[in-house]
Chain A
Amino acid sequence: MTAIEPAPVMLPGQDLATIDRAVGDAVLRPATPLWWWGGFTIAVAFTGLFILAVEYLFIAGVGIWGIDIPVAWGFAIANYVWWIGIASGGTIISALFYLTQSEWRSAVNRIAESMTLFAAAAAAIMPILHLGRPSFFYWLFPIPNTMGLWPQFKSPLLWDFFAILAYVTASVLFWFLGLLPDLAMVRDRATTRGSRVFYGIAAMGWTGSHRQWRLHKSAYGLLAALMAPLVISVHSIVGLDFSGGLLPGWHSTQFSPFFVFGAVLSGFATVLLLVIPLRRLYRLEAFITQRHLDLLVTFLLLCSLLLAYSYFIDALLPFYGDDKFERATQLHRFTGDWAWSYWGAWSLNVVAPQILWVRALRRDWLICLIAFGVVVGMWLERIMLVASSLYEDFLPSSWGHYVPTLWDWLILFGSAGMAAAGFFLFLRYLPVLAAYELKEILPPPSRHGESQG
C-alpha cells in the first residue's frame, strides 16, 4: 500500500444518522441542484445526436462510416471494446474488492457499479450498430428457426455475443441486489407519497430482518464471486475477437490479459473521474476520503505498469520472432498512418500516469486530468489495434487507408452522452453510496442513531 500511516477510510464524527442524511437526503431533496441540470442537459443533447446518427445509419447503411476494404472494422468495434473495458473496471472494484473484504470499497462501489451499468449498455449497442444488417442481429441467438440453422459456435464474435449478454445481465442483477437495502432506507425516509410508492415498489418489501440480511449477504457474496471471473472472461474473450484472427498485430497469445489490464486501467480512471467531483458536489468528503483516492490512484498506477508490460511485449515479440508480416505491422504502428494513436496510447496510458507516484502531486485536478488522459488513451489504443493491423496486412496490393467520417465521431460522442445521461439519472434518483455497507464499517461505538429523547 502507498500510505505510510493510512488516512482513515471514513472521517470521524459519523454515525448511522449522518450516513442516512448524506446518502438518503441527496435522493429525496426536493430541489435539484443546478450542476445536475447543466450536466444532464448536455448529456441529453449528445444522446440526441446519438439517436440522430443511428437513425441515419439505419437509413443509409454503414457506408456512411469511414470503413472500407481492407479496414472493414472501425469506430464501432473500438468504441465497443473501449466501453466494455471501462465497464469492467467498475465490476473489479465492486466484486473483486468485496471478496478481498477491503473496507474502502464500500464508499465507491455503488458509483463504480452504476458506471459499469451504463458503460456496458453503451458497449452492448455498438456491435449491433456495427452490423451491415442490424435487423438480423438475433441470428446470433441459438433459437429454433424456420431455417433450421444455428449460429457458428466457433466464431470469437459469437463467444463475445454470449459474454456481453451474460455480463450485462449479471451486472444489472448484481447492482440491484446491492441497491435493495438502501432503496428500503430511502423508502422509509421518503416523505412524499410519490417517492414512497416509487421506492416502496423498488425496495420490494425489504424489512432488514436478520433472516433477509443473512440471505442477502450470502447471495451478494456468491454473485460477487461469480462477477469477478466473469468480468475477466468477458474481456479475455473481447481480446479473442482480435487474436482469433490471423492478422499480423492481432494474432497474439497475450491479447486476453493485455485487454484485461487495459480494461481495468480505464475502469479505475473513469471511477476516479467520477468520484473526485462527486465527493465535492455531494459533500461526501467524510466517506470518500483521501484514502480512497490514494488507493484508486495506486491501482491506476499498478494497471498502468501492467499495461506498459503488455505494450512492451507486444512491440518486442515481432522482432524476437521471424514473422516478417508481424514485424512490418509493428513498424507500421510505430511510423504509419496511425502512429499517432500508438504513441498516444503509450504516452497517455503509460507515461503520463507515472507522475502520480509523487504523492505531493496528487491534486484532485491533476488526478482528474491524468484519469481523463487515460480514458482517451485507452480509446486510442483500441482504435490503434483495430485500424493499424487492418490497413496494411499481407498483400501490399490491397493496402489501404482509413479515414473516419463525421458519423463515426457522432456515434462515439453520442454514446458517451447516452451513458452520461443514464448516470445522471442514477445520481439524482438512487443512493450514490452503499449506505448499509458504510454503517457496517462504522467503528462499533458510533454504530447508533441520535440518542433518544
Chain B
Amino acid sequence: MTEFGRRHLMQLVAASAALAGLSGCGPSETPEKMTPRVDQAPGETAGEASYVATAVVQEGFATGAILQHRMARPVKLEGNPDHPASLGAADAPMQGTVLDLYDPGRSAAVLSGGQIADWNRLALALAEKRRQWSKDGGTGLRILTGSISSPSLAAQLAALSQQYPAARWHSWEPLSRDNVAAGARLAFGKPVDALPQFDKADIVLGIESDAISAAPGHLAFARAFGARRRAAETGSGKMSRVYAIEATPTLLGAAADHRFALKPAEIELALRAIAAAVDAGPAEWRGSERPGWVDAVARDLAAHHGAALVHAGPEQSPAIHALACAINAALGAPLRHIEPVAADAPGLAELAAEMHDGKVETLLILGVNPAYDAPADLGFVEALKRVALSIELATHVDETAQLATFHVPALHMFEDWSDARAFDGTATILQPQIRPLVPGHSAPAMLALLAGTQDFSARDLVQDTWRQRVSGDFAAAWSGWLRKGVVDNTAAADAAVTLRRDFATALPKPAQTASALTVLLRPDPFLRDGAQANNGWLQELPRPFTRLTWDNAALIAPATAGRLGIASEELVDIARGGGKKVRLAAMVLPGQAEGVVTLSLGYGRRAIGAVGEGVGSDAGVLRVSTAPWQADDATLHATGQTYPLATTQQHQTMDGRDIVRTFSVDDLPKAAAAPERASLYPPYPKGDNAWGMAISLGSCIGCGACTAACQAENNIPVVGREQVMRGRAMHWIRVDRYWSDDVANPGARFQPVPCMHCEDAPCEVVCPVDATVHDTDGLNVMVYNRCVGTRFCANNCPYKVRRFNFFGYSGRDPRPAMSWNPDVTVRDRGVMEKCTYCIQRIRETKIAADRDNRPITDGEAKTACQQACPTEAIVFGDLNDAESAVRKRKASPLDYALLEELNTRPRTTYAAHVRNPNPEIKEG
C-alpha cells in the first residue's frame, strides 16, 4: 500500500514528463508526395528560382518587370533594372499584379445574362455578324478599350478598320491624362508628352504633381528626384529645392521644402502670377493681392534658368498645364518632349452618344469597366441597354459584365503574349509567365475573332508586328529582347515644340467659382481606378498620408472640419449639385487646402469579388465628363452616424521626441568620430558578414513600395479590416508618417521602420525558449517553429516591429497555396514574426558564395524593400565590407540610430531628413 503510494506518485510525475517528451515526436503524419515532371522543363531547376522578364501595363503604359519563378510559377514581381520606367524599382500596384494572377475571384467562364454560357454561342453570334459586316463594312460595330500603347494591338485595330471601314474604335481611361494633352495643345498647338529630368533640376515646382507617385515613368522620375534630395547626404552634387502648390497632399508635396496649400481656383492664379514673373505671360497676370511667396518662388525659378522645372498633375485643368508648359519654355526647363506614346482615339462621350442614338449594334468592351467608372452624365448603363450585342472581356465578373450580353473571362497580362510601350516610348515584349490559370481570352484574340482570323496566335501577332522593324537576324534580336525585357532603341525621339504666339490670349479666363466647398476626385494611391480592388495586398497597404486601409474617406482640412463641425470617422453625405450622393466617413487630414474635400476613386466596387466588393464607397458617381476631377458646387451633410476607419497609425505627431531628425542643408552636422557606446557586455564572436541597413529619410518619399515588396516576398498574410482596426496589421516594414508640429501648414515626414536588428536586442533576452536569438552575422533571427507565443518580445521591442499571429491569418488568406514563396515559412497561429532582412535571400547568397569558396560581393544580397524602393532610400549590405554601399551611407554625419539612448545598438540606422528651404520665404 505505502509502496504503491510512493510509486504511484512518482509515476504521475514521470507521466507528465513523458508526455512532454513524446508529444510531437511520434511518426510523422501523412507522408509527403514527390511528383517529378514526366519530362524535364528546360531551364528549370527544382528548388532554385528562375527569373523571366516581362512588363506590367498600367493605364496603357508599360513598366519593366522581372518575375521570380519557383518550379515554373511566378511568385514575386521585381522591377527590371534594364527598363527605363523601372530601373529595378517596382511600385505597389505593380507588385500586386502577381496576387491578381492567382486571385481566386477571377472570372473563369463565359457568361450570358449571369448564366454560364457556351463559348460557341458567342462564336456563332459573331460569325453571323461577320457575314453582315463584310457587307456593310462593319456598321454599328464599336470597340472600346483602355488607353493603348501596344504596337501590335494598334496594328490589329488598324487592320480591323481597313477590314470594316464603318467600325469605330473608342478608348476610355478613367484616369486619363487628357488634360495634359489639352494643355500642350493650348501651349504648343499639338499634344506632346513632357518628361521632367529631375537629375538636371535644381528647382522643382510641383502643381499637385504626380511625377514621383503615379505619372507614367514615376519610378524613374523618383529615382532621379531622390538622388538630388540625397545630395547633401552623399556629398555628391547640389541638393535640389522643391516647391509644391497643391490643394491635397501629394508625395512630391511631402518631399517639398516649401508647400503651399491652395484651393484649385487659387492655384491657377498663383501660377499665372509666376508665369508673368518669369516673362511667360502678360504682366497683368501678376495680380494685385498675391501672397508674398509667389514672387520669391518666381525669382528662384528665374534665377535657375535651364535648371528649374514645373510639373503639374493630370487632374489639373488644361489651362494650368498650358501655363506650366509656358513657364517651362521660358525657363528652358530640363524636360524632354516626345510624341504621345498612347494611341489617340475618340473617347467614351462620343460612344455613349451614339449608343443612346441606337447607332451601336455590336459593342466589344476590352478590359475596361465603364458600367462602374463612366462619368455619371453619360448614362452609360442606360446606353448599354440599347446595344443589341455587347461583349465584355474582363478578368473579373464586374459591373459591366452584369449588363453585357456576353462576358468573356480575360487572361491576365502574365498569361499571354503581348507588347506595350513605356512612358518614354521604349517597347517591351510581354511574354507569358504561366499557362493560363483560367480558360480565358486575350484582347488580341477577341479582335482576331472579329476579324475572323483562323487559328490566331498572339505570339505570331506580336512577332509579325516587330519583324518588320528589324533588319537582320530577327530570332536573335527577339530572344535578346525577351531576355532583356526591352526592345532595343525603341525610345521615342524628341519632339520639337514652340510656344504658340497667341498662347496668352488663347488661354481661357480663369473660372471665378467662389464655392464654399470643392470636392476633389482623385485616384486612390494603390487601387488607382479600382481595377485592382480585389487585391488584398493593395487594400491593406496603408495610404501614405492617411495610413488608412480597406476604405476611402472624405479628407478634410482641420480648419474646414472645425468650420463644418465634423470630426474624423463621422459619416457624411457628399453630393454634386442635386446629383447622386456618396456616403463615407470623414477624416481630418492636415495638409488639405481649406474648403477642399478629397475623395479617392476606385472604391465601392459593386461587383469584382469577395475581397473588393463593398469596400469603401464609390466616389465615381460624382464624376461628370466635363469635370471628372473636381466638383465645385458640392454639398456636404453630416449624418450624425459614425463609422470606424481602419488606420494603422493612431498618433500623428512626434510629440517633440527625437525620432525623425531634420536638418537644414545650410547647417548640417559636422562629421564627428562617433564615440563607441559603452556596454556592459563583452563583444560576441561574429561571423564572416555583419548585415546592416541604412535608410535615407531625405530620399524616402513614402510611396509604400517597400511594404508591398516585403508582403509579397515574405508571405505576409492579409488580415482584413476588422483585424487592422484591432491593431493587428502584419506588415514587417511599416512607413510611419509624422506631421511636423507646424499646425498651419504641416509637412509630412516619412520613416520606414523594419526590424532594427539590434546587436543588444531587448526582445531576445526576455524570450523563455530561445525562439528569437542572434546569429553570427548579427541578424536578430526569429525561429517561428520554436516560438510558444509569450509575446514578451513584442512588448519589449521599443520599435514595435514585431507582429503576432493572433489568429491563423495565413490559413484564412484566400490566395492559393501555389502562390506563396516556398523559401519562406508560412507562419502558424500563435507565433511571433518580424522582419528578417530577407534571411532567405541572404542564405541563398551565402550558400552560393560558400559553395564556390568566394566572398559575397556588395549588392549580391538585396532585401525586397531595398530592391523595390524607387529612390534607393534603403541600402542593405555587409558592414564588414569596407567598400560596401551601406558602410558608406553609415559614414555620413547625418546617420543616426533610432532611440539610440536605449543603447540597443541597431543595425538599421537612418540618415536624417535634410531640407533646402528658401531663406526668402518664411511661411510654408
Q: What is the bound-complex CA distance between A328 and B652, given in angstroms? A: 16
Which A residue's beta carbon lies closest to that of B730?
A69
Q: What is the bound-complex CA distance between A190 and B762, given in angstroms? A: 60
- Name the B residues within 8 Å of A71 (CB-CB): 727
- Within B589-609, the residues touching A (CB, 8 Å) are none
B645 at the interface (CB under 8 A from A): no
- Within B634-674, the residues touching A (CB, 8 Å) are 649-655, 657, 659
B interface footprint on A384-406 (CB within 8 Å = 1, 0 otherwise): 00000010111111111100000
Q: What is the bound-complex CA distance between A252 and B738, given in angstroms? A: 30
B800 touching A69, Cβ below 8 Å? yes
Per a CB cutoff under 8 Å, which of A63, A247, A328 touches B655?
A328
Most buried by B among A69, A132, A150, A151: A69
A69 touching B794, Cβ below 8 Å? yes
A interface footprint on B696-726 (CB within 8 Å = 1, 0 otherwise): 0000000000000000000000000001001
A145 at the interface (CB under 8 A from B): yes
Most buried by B among A62, A152, A324: A152
- Name the A residues within 8 Å of B233 (CB-CB): none
Which A residue's beta carbon lies closest to that of B547?
A397
A interface footprint on B732-748 (CB within 8 Å = 1, 0 otherwise): 00101110000000000
A interface footprint on B10-51 (CB within 8 Å = 1, 0 otherwise): 000000010111010100000000000000000000000000
Q: What is the bound-complex CA distance between A396 and B659, given in angstroms? A: 9
Q: What is the bound-complex CA distance between A394 and B751, given in angstroms? A: 15
- Name the A residues within 8 Å of B796 (CB-CB): 245-247
A149 at the interface (CB under 8 A from B): yes
- Name the B residues within 8 Å of A399 (CB-CB): 650-651
- Name the A residues within 8 Å of B765 (CB-CB): 154-155, 244
Q: Decide: A61 near B768, CB < 8 A? Known: A131-B788, A143-B17, A246-B762.
A: no
Interface size on A, residues (CB 8 A): 56
Per a CB cutoff under 8 Å, which of B727, B734, B806, B807 touches A70?
B727
- Name the B residues within 8 Å of A170 (CB-CB): none
- Name the B residues within 8 Å of A397 (CB-CB): 649, 651, 659, 734, 736-738, 751, 753
B795 touching A73, Cβ below 8 Å? yes
- Name the A residues within 8 Å of B650 (CB-CB): 399-401
Q: Decide: A396 near B738, CB < 8 A? Known: A62-B789, A63-B807, A133-B787.
A: yes
A72 touching B657, Cβ below 8 Å? no
A69 touching B20, Cβ below 8 Å? no
Chain B proximity of A241: nearest CB distance (Å): 8
Q: What is the bound-complex CA distance between A143 and B17, given in angstroms? A: 8
Per a CB cutoff under 8 Å, which of A69, A146, A324 touches B804?
A69
Give the interface residue-count category, chain B.
Answer: 35 or more
B795 touching A390, Cβ below 8 Å? yes
B789 touching A247, Cβ below 8 Å? no
Q: Interface of chain A, helix or strand or loop or mixed? A: loop
B843 at the interface (CB under 8 A from A): no
A395 touching B659, Cβ below 8 Å? yes
Per a CB cutoff under 8 Å, which of B657, B767, B803, B807 touches A324?
B657
A135 at the interface (CB under 8 A from B): yes
Q: What is the bound-complex CA distance between A421 and B830, given in angstroms? A: 31
B795 touching A72, Cβ below 8 Å? yes
A139 at the interface (CB under 8 A from B): yes
B21 touching A396, Cβ below 8 Å? no
Chain B proximity of A177: nearest CB distance (Å): 15
B653 touching A157, Cβ below 8 Å? no
- Name the A residues within 8 Å of B653 (CB-CB): 396
Q: Decide: A157 near B794, CB < 8 A? Known: A61-B806, A132-B829, A400-B650.
A: no
Chain B proximity of A69: nearest CB distance (Å): 6
- Name the A residues within 8 Å of B757 (CB-CB): none
- Name the B residues within 8 Å of A244 (CB-CB): 765-766
Per a CB cutoff under 8 Å, which of B652, B753, B789 touches A132?
B789
- Name the A residues within 8 Å of B751 (CB-CB): 397
A137 at the interface (CB under 8 A from B): yes
B807 touching A140, Cβ below 8 Å? no
A320 at the interface (CB under 8 A from B): no
Q: What is the bound-complex CA distance between A66 and B899, given in angstroms? A: 28
A151 touching B798, Cβ below 8 Å? no
Which B residue's beta carbon lies closest to that of A145?
B21
Q: What is the bound-complex CA distance between A392 and B657, given in angstroms? A: 13
A158 at the interface (CB under 8 A from B): yes
A358 at the interface (CB under 8 A from B): no
Q: Decide: A68 near B806, CB < 8 A? Known: A155-B768, A400-B727.
A: yes
Q: What is the bound-complex CA distance between A62 and B727, given in angstroms? A: 14
Most buried by A among B653, B766, B828: B766
B interface footprint on A47-84 (CB within 8 Å = 1, 0 otherwise): 00000000000001111001111111100000000000
A132 touching B832, Cβ below 8 Å? yes
Q: What is the bound-complex CA distance between A319 and B829, given in angstroms? A: 41
B228 at the interface (CB under 8 A from A): no
Which B residue's beta carbon lies closest to that of A324?
B657
Q: What is the bound-complex CA distance between A355 and B646, given in angstroms? A: 48
- Name the B residues within 8 Å of A154 (CB-CB): 765
- Name the A residues within 8 Å of B736 (CB-CB): 395, 397-398
B767 touching A61, Cβ below 8 Å? no
- Name the A residues within 8 Å of B83 (CB-CB): none
A156 at the interface (CB under 8 A from B): yes
- Name the B residues within 8 Å of A35 (CB-CB): none
B798 touching A393, Cβ below 8 Å? yes
A362 at the interface (CB under 8 A from B): no
- Within B802-846, the residues touching A (CB, 8 Å) are 802-808, 828-832
Chain B proximity of A282: nearest CB distance (Å): 32
A394 touching B789, Cβ below 8 Å? no
A36 at the interface (CB under 8 A from B): no
B467 at the interface (CB under 8 A from A): no
Q: What is the bound-complex CA distance between A72 and B723, given in angstroms? A: 14
- Name the A residues within 8 Å of B805 (CB-CB): 61, 132
A146 touching B798, Cβ below 8 Å? no
Q: What is the bound-complex CA distance between A131 and B830, given in angstroms? A: 8
A161 at the interface (CB under 8 A from B): yes
B659 touching A69, Cβ below 8 Å? no
B166 at the interface (CB under 8 A from A): no
- Name the A residues within 8 Å of B495 (CB-CB): none
A61 touching B807, Cβ below 8 Å? yes
B806 touching A67, Cβ below 8 Å? yes
Q: What is the bound-complex CA distance between A245 and B791, given in angstroms? A: 12
B516 at the interface (CB under 8 A from A): no
Which A residue's beta carbon lies closest to that of B652?
A396
Chain B proximity of A332: nearest CB distance (Å): 11
Which A residue's beta carbon lies closest to that of B791?
A72
Per a CB cutoff under 8 Å, which of B652, B769, B807, B830 touches A139?
B769
- Name the A residues within 8 Å of B134 (CB-CB): none
- Within A184-198, the residues touching B (CB, 8 Å) are none
Q: What is the bound-complex CA distance between A247 and B788, given in angstroms? A: 22
Chain A proximity of B522: nearest CB distance (Å): 25
A-B residue pairs in contact (CB < 8 Å), sample of 28: A61-B806, A62-B830, A68-B806, A69-B802, A70-B794, A70-B795, A70-B800, A73-B791, A132-B788, A132-B791, A132-B832, A133-B787, A138-B20, A149-B770, A152-B768, A152-B770, A155-B767, A157-B767, A244-B766, A245-B762, A246-B798, A246-B902, A324-B657, A395-B659, A395-B736, A396-B651, A397-B734, A397-B737
Shortest Cβ-Cβ A-B pairs, 3 listed: A132-B789, A132-B830, A63-B806
